[in-house]
Structure 1
Amino acid sequence: MALAVAVVLGGLVFAYYATYLLDRSTSTDRARSDKNAQKAVDREGAAFVSTITPIDYEQDMPEAVVIVLDRPLTDREQAALTALKGGNKASVWAYLKSLGGRLIEYTFTAALPKPLADGHEITPGSKSQTFKLNLNSDRGAGLTINGMTAVKDSCGAPTAKTVVDIPPAGSSARPGLLWDLAGGQTDRPKGPYVLDDGANQGELYFRKNVVDLGNGQSNMAFLVQPEVTTQTCTWHIDASYTDTSGSHVQRIPSGSGTITTEAVPQQPVQYFGWVIGQGWGCIGQMSQKGCTATKTLEQNRPTTRPDPQ
């Protein structure tokens, strides 16, 4: 009996030490395998997530705006519009938004160096639909975005029929990044340029900056101002980044998503312009009820001109 117990105990001791020695001898290989597996899992998804958010104009109304609609206003809608003060942009926007209006911002680049750091000059008369771009990565390993390129997917004439114009009475540029998308699809976009005040204003952002994500880094948020002139463009961003496996490119928005930046039509059916101190001027296929500044507006010959009646 004692002999049997001793044999069993000896077997258990031998098995324990055999397992221990095996673990010691293979621990490096297993650690390396686990690390490689973690890296593979870490790279299975997108390197980073991009989120594009429109500006909340109820909370952040620009100084000067153009609002466009896809149809002419009826007589009743015109009367409701011209009863509002153009200086109260929030009220005008709230009313026209309820009719399907879309807001386009005036852009202010007069303070930027001329020419810009790369020799480019911003096209005069450009307009923008500003948005917020947020970048985030939950990767364990870090990555660095070292460049962004705007790519036009398509461009064409704007289709809006009605333009409501509340021009500037003095303003300044929003801080953030600016892309110049002026012209058609074959015209190469320029930028992004730094709009913030300071020594880097007008510089290409990625000449002196990178975006570090992953490895516990905070999100990166940009205010993006894409400018167009005579053509509406759909486009996307190709973001170049590096990680431990090399250099890569990821599209913003992801997949086949695009960004649309709308231009103001040069010959709308209806054109309403606010003249400070006088009221609304109305040009095109509409009545003149409530339009007290039409003569002044015609004399000033706005860049955007309606079709003749």
Structure 2
Amino acid sequence: MSEADLALAAALKRWSGQLRNAGMLQKDQAERLRWSEEKYSKYLNGKLRITAPRQMVPGFLAMVAEWLGEQAQARARAELEGLAQAAHAARPLAWVADELAQLRSEIGRVRDDRAAAEVQRRLAAALDALARTESTLAGHGEQLAEDQWELGALRWEVAELRERAASSITARHRAGRDVNAPITFYNGPGSGPGRRITPARAVGGIVLALALAAAVVVGQHWYSGRTAAGDAAVQRQAGKDLDRQTVPFQVVVDGPDLRRYGVWTFVLDRPLTRAEQAGLALFKPEDLAGVRAYLEPLGARLLPEGDAPKTSPNTDDPAMKSIQQREHQGMVGGDSYRLHFTSDRSSSVTIESIGITDVSCSPSRAVSSVRAPSAGEGSVPSVFLSVAVPPGTPAVELDDEGFAVGVDYFAHHKLDLGQAITPGDIAVQVGGITGQVCSWEFRVDYLTPEGKFTTKVDNQGKPFTVEALPAHVSQRLLYDLGGATNPAHWANCDKEPAPCLPV
């Protein structure tokens, strides 16, 4: 048992006491705490797999955040995670595993006898540590199958590395002997003592060698002149073919933008308990980071904050009416992304349009929402796409206030890349569908001197996703700013419908 183990045990016991003293633990939380303490006690007695310290800490941190708040969790994390790491480092099995990982990469670089001896010494020390650990665990009278398996696996790895180290050293010595071995030349037909080199034979050999060399030079010159033009043409054609097959630009997608300047909404797939609702009282809506740190461990996820394009309700423009029709069909706002395009091509590259493709949707499982009232307006991207419309539908153009000014942004906007032109940069919002979780990929149409092409941009091998709040959820919590006789608080809309009514 190391000093780090004892220090971690004391810290966990102290935080357990603070959780109990808070007096807010329900029956299931108290049971979790008791179970955690028993599990760690078994670890201290040598009756549990040695990786237990680092497994214990996350559960304690979650309970500390849940019942003592984020500031207490920050203090607990600073203390417990450091102690858990120290306890892990003090474990014999962890030390052996780390040592073997280093030796596995070092064996191939052994170059002399001293380095080889050092490798063997470290392997012997690892084996000795395994023997001591096995004896210690057996002395407690109970040894789990997992511990036995880990010990056996590490012993096997030590044996394998010893064999590899011995093979590497043997090969190195054998290679040295091969380099210094005597060389025996083969005497071909007509060679040997009976065919002495005379002056006449020497002159004839020199003349023959010069003639052959001249013939080779003349032949190479003739061949090079004959094929140079053809090789250049082939290389040019190969370059064009490669340009056609590869995307002539690079794109980096930043997003979704998780900053929230106005309304923010979290959703969960289950209702919040009374105790969990009470925990919200510690936070105000402007403390988005604190609310997120409190709700996400409970299973909450942050929804997009963007709005669908605004249009005048009295418009006679058919294009604007088509946008209104999309809203009636469930189109809502979404997440904002910023796309950065660069190209190192010497020829021009033009991004002609950006859209979405490969759309797939399924119903949202959200049954509970936590929402804050609007605290202002954020920046609005100038391009709006939506998964609610068929792929290939042009992007809507927005003004700075979010009003639609056109139904095809790329009809008169392009991004020119290549030829040392400034990289292209564009902000795009992708809207969702009410009550749906949808995935998609960006579709980019571009033009080069070789023609028009299309490529897809995904989220590092995965699709992008957007979720929109269902029209009705069973539980709605909204921050009520209050009034002269009513203090600000988190209101349950089922019990206090007035703050939740549309303005």
TM-score tier (shorter): 0.7 to 0.9
- Match status 1:240 vs 2:442: no
Partner residue, 2:231: 30
Give every structure 1 segment of 4 or more consecutive aligned residues whose post-TM-superposition deviation is greater than 6 Å. Answer: 1-4, 109-117
**Aligned residue number for residue 89 of structure 1:** 288
Contact 2:442–2:456, Cα closer than 8 Å, also in 1? yes
Q: Indicate how the Cα distance of structure 1 residues 9 and 22 shifts in structure 2: closer, same or farther if over 3 A, else same.
A: same
**Partner SS state of residue 126, structure 1:** strand
Moved more, 124-133 or 244-253: 124-133
Greater Cα radius of gyration, structure 1 or 2? 2
2:303 alignment partner, SS class: strand
Q: Is contact 2:397-2:409 (8 Å) kept?
A: yes
Which residue is equivalent to 2:395?
192
- For 1:210, which of 395, 399, 414 is the aligned residue? 414
From 9, 12, 23, give the equivalent of 2:213: 12
Among candidates 484, 493, 502, match of residue 283 of structure 1: 493
| 2:303 equivalent to 1:104 | yes
Letter in 2 for 1:86: P
1:230 aligned onto 2:434:
yes
User: 2:499 aligned to 297, 302, 305, which one?
Assistant: 297
Describe the shift of the 1:103–1:91 C-alpha distance in structure 2 as closer, same or farther (beyond 3 A).
Answer: same
Contact 1:238 1:251 in 2 (8 A): yes
In structure 2, what is the equivalent of residue 178 of structure 1? 384
**SS of 1:72 mapped into structure 2:** coil
What displacement does 1:192 show?
A: 2.0
- Structure 1 pair 194–144 and aligned structure 2 pair: CA distance change class (3 A): same
Q: Which residue, 243, 257, 267 being the options, matches 1:68?
A: 267
Once the two structures are superposed, residues 139-188 of structure 1 have per-residue CA deviations (whole angstroms, 9 ceiling, x without a partner) of: 67553321223346233432211111113243144234211444xxx767
Aligned positions, number: 287
* Counterparts in 2 of 1:12 and 1:191: CA distance versus 1, 3 Å: same
Amino acid of the structure 2 residue aligned with 1:96: L
Indicate the larger mover: 135-144 or 33-42: 135-144
Distance (whole Å) between structure 1 residues aligned to residue 480 and residue 398 of structure 2? 29
Alignment partners' CA distance in 1, 2:308 and 2:451? 37
Please tell me the residue identity of whatever aligns with 2:339.
Answer: L
* Alpha-carbon separation, structure 2, partners of 1:7 and 1:187: 79
Looking at structure 1, the residues matched to 420 and 244 of structure 2 have their Cα atoms a distance apart, in angstroms, of 16
CA gap of 1:82–1:104, structure 2 versus 1, over 3 A, is same
Maintained 8 Å contact 1:180/1:189: no
Which residue pairs with 1:306 in the alignment?
none
Higher relative contact order, chain-length normalized (CA < 8 Å, sep 6+)? 1
- Counterpart Cα distance in 1 of 2:213 and 2:446: 55
Indicate the residue corresponding to 1:150 in structure 2: 356
Matches within 5 A, 1:121-140: 121=323, 123=327, 126-136=332-342
Q: How big is each residue's C-alpha offset from its partner over 1:113-137, in whole Å with a ceiling of 9 and x where there is no partner?
A: 8868944435389331223434455
Structure 2: runs of 5+ lacking an equivalent: 1-199, 483-487
Name the CA distance, whole Å, in 1 between partners of 2:249 and 2:299: 34
Q: Residues 62 and 100 from structure 1, CA distance in 2 versus in 1: closer, same or farther, beyond 3 angstroms?
A: farther
2:396 maps to amino acid: Y
**TM-score, with length taken from structure 1:** 0.73
SS at match of 1:266: coil
Which is worse superposed, 66-75 or 218-227? 218-227
The question of 1:77 aligning with 2:276 is answered yes
Give the whole-Å Cα distance in 2 for the aligned partners of 1:82 and 1:187. Answer: 43
Decide which moves more: 126-135 or 95-104.
126-135
Q: Larger strand proportion, structure 1 or 2?
A: 1
Distance of 1:26 and 1:247 partners within structure 2: 33
Equivalent position SS for 1:267: coil
* RMSD, aligned CA: 3.8
| Cα displacement string for residues 34-64 of structure 1 (whole angstroms, at most 9, x for unaligned residues) | 222333344444555555443363xx33322
> Measured at CA, do residues 152 and 273 of structure 1 come closer, stay the same or move farther in structure 2, by a change above 3 Å?
farther
Kindly indicate whether the alpha-carbon contact (under 8 Å) linking 1:64 and 1:105 is maintained by their aligned counterparts in 2.
Answer: no
Which structure carries more helix by proportion? 2
| Partners of 2:265 and 2:301 in 1: CA distance | 8
Gaps of 5+ in 1: 289-293, 303-309
Alignment match, 2:12: none
- Shift of the 297–191 alpha-carbon distance from structure 1 to 2, 3 Å rule, reads farther
Q: CA contact under 8 A between 2:257 and 2:337: conserved in structure 1?
A: no
Instruction: Name the TM-score, length of structure 2 as normaliser.
Output: 0.48
Deviation of 1:78 (Å) = 0.8
Say if 1:190 and 1:78 are closer, same or farther in 2 by CA, change over 3 A.
farther
